[in-house]
Every structure is written in C-alpha cells, then in structure tokens.
Structure 1
Amino acid sequence: MIVEGTVLRGREFDPVEGRVVVEDGEISAVEEADVDSERIVLPAFVNAHTHIGDSIAKEAGSGLSLDDLVAPPDGLKHRLLRAASREEKVEAMRRSLRMMQATGTATCIEFREGGVEGVEAIRAAADGLDIDPVVLGRETADAMRASDGFGASGARDAEFADLREATREAGKLFGIHAGERDSLDIDPALDLSPDFAVHMVHPEASHLDRIEESGVPIVLCPRSNLVTNVGVAPVRDLVDRTTVALGTDNVMLNSPSMFREMEFLNKLADVSAAEVLRMATVNGAELAGKNYGVVEEGREAKLLVLDGDSDNLAGAKDPVRAVVRRAGRADVTDVLL
C-alpha cells in the first residue's frame, strides 16, 4: 500500500511532500517526492483514557457534582450501568467504538467497570471492528487477569496495594485516577508506582517533583475536568516534567473525539500544536505499549488521512495546527488500522 500527500513525519511531525509505503501492516519507507495529492497523512490517534460504558447515558446528570456523577458504587453512572441490560451496554459501546474508529482512533485505554463481565462486554462490542481497545479491568483481580491490566478509581478511599502487586506480577498495565478533585490522593497514588495517572488537576510543587523524578506519565482530560467543574490541570508544568497523553474520559460527559479534545486543549493551554498532537498519538501509544503513533519506518501502519483540500482545511498554511485546531470528522478520507 502507498499513501501519498503531505506526510507529518516523525515525532516532530515535520510536513514533507511524499508517500508512506506500507508492507505487511508496517511502515517500510517514508519517501520525499513530488506527488499530486492534497491529502494530509498523520498517525492515528490514541485516546488514553475512556469510560465508554457511559455511552448508555450521554448528557445525563446535568448539574450534578463529580461524586454524584461517577463515584463508585452509587454515582449516577453506576446506577445507570446496573439498570441497563448487557445487550444495551454492548450496543452503546459499539457505537462509541465505531465513532472513534471513523475519526481516526486506533485504540483507547478503557477503564472498564463491571468486573470480568464488563471486560467481556467491551470485547464483544469491539468484535469485528478495526479499533483495538486496551482494556483495564476494575474492581477485582479476576477482571485484571481477564484484561490488559487494572484501572484504579483512586487512592483516596480505597486500598490498591495488593491489586497493584498482582498487576505487576502479571506484567500488565496499572493506571489510576489522581488529583482530580484535590491534591489529597496524589501521594498515595504515586506511592503505588503506577504505569500512568489520570487527571492530575491539582498537583502541588512536591507532587510535580515526584512526577518528574519517577517519570510517571500523566493522561489529561481537559474537557471532562471543566464539565465536572474540578478545574484546569497545570498543562505546561506537566509537559515540562513528564510524558503527557490525552483522553476524552466519560462518554456520559463528552464525545470520544480526539479532534475536539486536541482543539480544546491547544486553545486552552500554553502548549504548541505539535505538543498536543504528540499527546494524542505517540505519547498515548507508548504509554499503552504500542508500536505506532509515529509515521516512521518500522512502526505499525496505523494512519489517518485527511482531505487537505476540504472546505474546512483548504488554505491552511500550517498543517499541524490545522489538524489540531481545525480538522474534524468531515475532513477524514481514510482511516488505515
């Protein structure tokens, strides 16, 4: 397979005119050449934090606090999940996965409620699709063993030391929510040496030092944080100290669109478009242990192709900024997963 256009090459997304050569699902060459194409070729996205079980309850719970919305076991989302049938949950998740696939997302890192049954449900939802979610079970060690790891709710009111050790012994991912409402659960979360932490809206100086020293990656969900009224993470400080990835969080609150998340973050925070695109691609891919997220030789060919001559993108002088701040689903011409 050969894909031609303006290729956003490497970790810096250098725009070069040319082609990407794909053999057996791997990028075998990125060649500079004169080509007759207005397309923009970039790595597919990695949505580094989702709760897509919430797809059954989009825009529910307006005006509720964060705890009333999502705190286990009796937050609104958990009550709605318990009330829904397995078939309803699987179909709703399948719709969200299809939407992510159509907008260029290769994988999402899903914190999956419902124990082993919840893990099996999202596997059923993804069956036959090209998007391949990384599923982190919750609630039990059995859910961790049945999935790709464990997604902890947070170290404020729960003890996860045993589950952390079991996840480490299994060689799987351990992620945890931290610093979403306040700073009180950050040190307990970092004490667990997680593979990554999600949100980190309220780190203090000592927490930033610990994050830098340990190299713990952070996943930001800026739209979700504003919807739940918990604040804005210190994005520049985090980017300067560690690897930062990007997620869309609960489908209950936000669409799982990386286009929307990138635009929002780039216009909100003191970070460049290239930094945001790294958060949405290679940073999330490497956090998940995936060999994609970059257009370069030897990587898996997970690619997104946009129409650079669409009414929305035509005339853009900076293709990276155009992708991050302007592009959307209507500009997608191909998703190669």
Structure 2
Amino acid sequence: MQIKSGLAIVGENLDVINNVCININEDGIIESIGKSNNCNNYVGNGNLIAIPQPANAHVHSGDNNFPEYGVKEGLHELVAFPNGLKHKLLNSLSYEKLIEGISSFYNTAYNMGIGLLVDFREGGGIGCKASKEALKYVKDMDVIVLGRPGPEFPNNCDGLGISSPVDYKEDYVIDLSKKFKPSMTHVAEDEETRKSNDFEIAIKSDFNALIHGLYLNEDDFEKLSYKNIYLIFCPSSNMWHGMKFPPIELSLKYNVKFAVGSDNASWFLPDVFRETYQLLLILRLKRIRGEEVAKELMKSLYINGYKSVGLEPRLIEEGKPAHFLLIDGYNSGIMNSINIYNSIIKRVQPSFIKFRVDRSNIKNLGLLFS
C-alpha cells in the first residue's frame, strides 16, 4: 500500500519532508519513505500532510456521562475526593451506563485522531474494568488505564493514577507508586495543595509524571529536571476552573519534559491540538516565540505523551507500524506556510483530518466533519 502526501513530519526529530511516498507492507509496517513521484497505485495527493497521531496524556473518561455539570462551582466542590460533586455523580451511575459513556468518549478521541489516551479512572479495579469493557468497541488506539485504590484494585488497571498524594498516608503513596507503574498524580493544582507538600511527597514517590503543577516554583522545576519526571499540562482545564496559566515557560527553561492532556471529559473534548495551541499562545504572551518553540510543543504532542507511560511514539519512520493522520494541507493553509511547526500547532484541528492510517487500515475521517 502506498500513501502520497505533499509534506510529512518524519522521525523522532520531526523533520519536514516534502513530496513523500510512504510504502506500507502487508504487515502494516512502514517499509520506506521515498519521493512522491515513485508512487504508483496510491491513496492521497500532494495537498495532504502526513503527521503522527498525538497522545492525550491526561483524561478522566468517566465524566463523559454528565457533560457541563456544576458550571457555577469551584474546583474543590466539583472534583475533590471523595465528596466532590463528580464522585457523587459517578457513584449514581449504573455500571452499564458508565461503560456507555466511556466508550462514547473513546470513540470521539479516535475520530479526533488520537493515538494514545492516558485515562485516570476512579472506582478502583472496577473502574478500570469499565474502561477495558469500553475498549472492546474501539480499535487502533492505545489506552493506558490508571487506577486508584478502591474495590478490586489493581485488577484491570495498567498502572496508578491518584487525585493527590495528600489523599493518603505518605508511606502508602510511596509504596503504591513504586509498585504500580506507570504512576501519575495531580500536584500543585492550587495553592492549598501545594502548601500541603504534595510535590515533595510526589518526588519521594518517584511518579513517572505529575499533572498540572500550576504552583510549582523554579526550585521545583530543577528537581523535576534532575529526576527526569514528566509534567502534563492541561491549559483549558486550568483556565476553565479559574486557576492560572500552566508554567510552560519554566519547563522550557529547565528542560523538563512535558506532555499535554485535555483533563475531564465532562468539560473538554479530547482535542489536544487545541490544548497545544493554548500553550503556544501562553508562550507568546510571555514573548517566547519561534519555530524551535513550536517544535518543542510538537514533541510534547507526538513524542512525550507516549514516553511518559513507557510506550513507543507513533512516529512516521521506516520500520515502525503505520499510525498517522493525513491533514488537508490546502484549506488549512499549512502547505504554503513558511513556518511549518507553528502552522501545525495553530492550524491542525479535527475538521482538517481527512484520513486516519492504522497499519493496513485507512479510515476516511473527512466524511465525519464535512
């Protein structure tokens, strides 16, 4: 099978290659990446752009059952464990209804071109089981289900994802995080939790990644860099809840690897293209600009989210399984851009995805958004 595109983002360096013919063998592996004039019997055209499938490194899929709830409430009233409104609503759902909502969310993510979801699931092993049941209806997308202590934990969970290190005794958190990998937790989402030393406990616990980190200081970022711990930013969520901009500039300054998540399905579609664009705007407000800045954001989207949970990124590269998207480069304006990395961060959106390629399967997503 051959795929023709006018431009492709290739390899771990995310190189921009023009006029490409991607040859995929019978096993769904990218056999070669050559010039488009070598394409004979192909899918695609010179107006398409081949990009990797992005990772959404932090979601809560169970919330999909009650969209836009609690619009007048504050963050703690909504999501604090165990008495926040979210947990009351989750406890009111039947198991079948929970699976239905999660499955719908996963299907939305697939159609938005997502290659990986990292899903924080409430409800112990039973919550993780609901996600595994929902996955039966979605193919060709990786989902890492991170559970938390509760009924039947850690059965059906792929790792650990807790709301905060201060929700449990410190020794218990350290033991959990070292035992169940990958492990993630929210930290420093507001001033109160930061003052409770949630970050210090998280550092002792060797979590693979921390979520939010809004109130971390420069000393904290030095520790993250030294420990090689990933930070997951969810800018839309932070702004919706009236918190603050994520400290993306400190990640760049201290070389802290970061990825992007859309957070709760109740308030946000799993559109990480929009989340990364938000980060670009925040950096420009701080006068941090340029193609290299946009390229770092692309790494967060196409590489770091995967590596934060120990997976290989879905790169367009010879010898790798074929998992990529074909974007309308003409109507998006990307094809004619002189700043490709900035254009991809700003202009890629689900409505411009024409095809999703997964090994030997090509799905026409353009029909969904036309």
Give me the TM-score of the superposition, normalised by structure 2: 0.85
Identity of aligned residues (%): 24
Q: State the secondary structure of the residue aligned to 1:110.
A: strand
Contact residue 111 and residue 151 of structure 1 kept, 8 A:
yes
Query: Which whole-Å CA distance do the structure 2 matches of 1:256 and 1:295 have between them?
Result: 22
Partner residue of 1:26 out of 25, 29, 33: 29
2:270 aligns to what?
256
Contact residue 79 and residue 85 of structure 2 kept, 8 A:
yes
In the alignment, structure 1 residue 242 sits paired with structure 2 residue 251: no
Q: Structure 1: 5+ residue runs without aligned partners?
A: none
Alignment of 1:1-337 (within 5 A): 1-5=1-5, 6-17=7-18, 18-23=20-25, 24-34=27-37, 36-130=45-139, 131-140=141-150, 142-159=152-169, 161-162=171-172, 164-166=174-176, 168-169=178-179, 172-182=181-191, 183-184=194-195, 185-240=198-253, 241-269=255-283, 270=288, 272-310=293-331, 315-337=336-358
Contact residue 246 and residue 280 of structure 1 kept, 8 A:
yes
Q: State the secondary structure of the residue aligned to 1:144.
A: coil
Using a 3 Å threshold, how does the CA distance of structure 1 residues 167 and 2 change in structure 2: closer, same or farther? farther
Which amino acid in structure 2 is aligned with residue 192 of structure 1? Answer: S
Shift in Å at residue 253 of structure 1? Answer: 2.1
Which amino acid in structure 2 is aligned with residue 134 of structure 1? Answer: I
Shift in Å at residue 57 of structure 1? Answer: 1.6
Contact residue 146 and residue 157 of structure 2 kept, 8 A:
yes
TM-align CA RMSD: 2.1
Shift in Å at residue 162 of structure 1? Answer: 3.2
Which amino acid in structure 2 is aligned with residue 3 of structure 1? Answer: I
2:362 aligns to what?
none
Contact residue 176 and residue 198 of structure 1 kept, 8 A:
yes
Contact residue 312 and residue 331 of structure 1 kept, 8 A:
no
Which amino acid in structure 2 is aligned with residue 159 of structure 1? Answer: K
Cα displacement string for residues 120-167 of structure 1 (whole angstroms, at most 9, x for unaligned residues): 111111213122210001124942342110101112342254354355
Q: State the secondary structure of the residue aligned to 1:16.
A: strand
Query: Which whole-Å CA distance do the structure 1 matches of 2:170 and 2:319 have between them?
Result: 37
Query: Which whole-Å CA distance do the structure 2 matches of 1:54 and 1:178 have between them?
Result: 20
Structure of higher CA gyration radius: 2
Contact residue 160 and residue 177 of structure 2 kept, 8 A:
yes
Which amino acid in structure 2 is aligned with residue 287 of structure 1? Answer: S
Which amino acid in structure 1 is aligned with residue 175 of structure 2? Answer: E
Query: Which whole-Å CA distance do the structure 2 matches of 1:194 and 1:3 have between them?
Result: 40
Give me the TM-score of the superposition, normalised by structure 1: 0.92
Contact residue 291 and residue 299 of structure 1 kept, 8 A:
no
Contact residue 173 and residue 205 of structure 2 kept, 8 A:
no
Contact residue 141 and residue 163 of structure 1 kept, 8 A:
no
Query: Which whole-Å CA distance do the structure 2 matches of 1:229 and 1:56 have between them?
Result: 23
Using a 3 Å threshold, how does the CA distance of structure 1 residues 106 and 264 change in structure 2: closer, same or farther? same
Q: Give the stretch that moved more between structures: 26-35 or 268-277.
A: 26-35
Which amino acid in structure 2 is aligned with residue 25 of structure 1? Answer: G
Q: State the secondary structure of the residue aligned to 1:252.
A: coil
Query: Which whole-Å CA distance do the structure 1 matches of 2:252 and 2:322 have between them?
Result: 27
Using a 3 Å threshold, how does the CA distance of structure 1 residues 31 and 111 change in structure 2: closer, same or farther? same
Which amino acid in structure 1 is aligned with residue 24 of structure 2? Answer: V
Contact residue 245 and residue 282 of structure 2 kept, 8 A:
no
Query: Which whole-Å CA distance do the structure 2 matches of 1:198 and 1:85 have between them?
Result: 29
Using a 3 Å threshold, how does the CA distance of structure 1 residues 258 and 126 change in structure 2: closer, same or farther? same
Using a 3 Å threshold, how does the CA distance of structure 1 residues 15 and 199 change in structure 2: closer, same or farther? same
Using a 3 Å threshold, how does the CA distance of structure 1 residues 169 and 186 change in structure 2: closer, same or farther? closer
Contact residue 129 and residue 155 of structure 2 kept, 8 A:
no
Using a 3 Å threshold, how does the CA distance of structure 1 residues 216 and 311 change in structure 2: closer, same or farther? closer
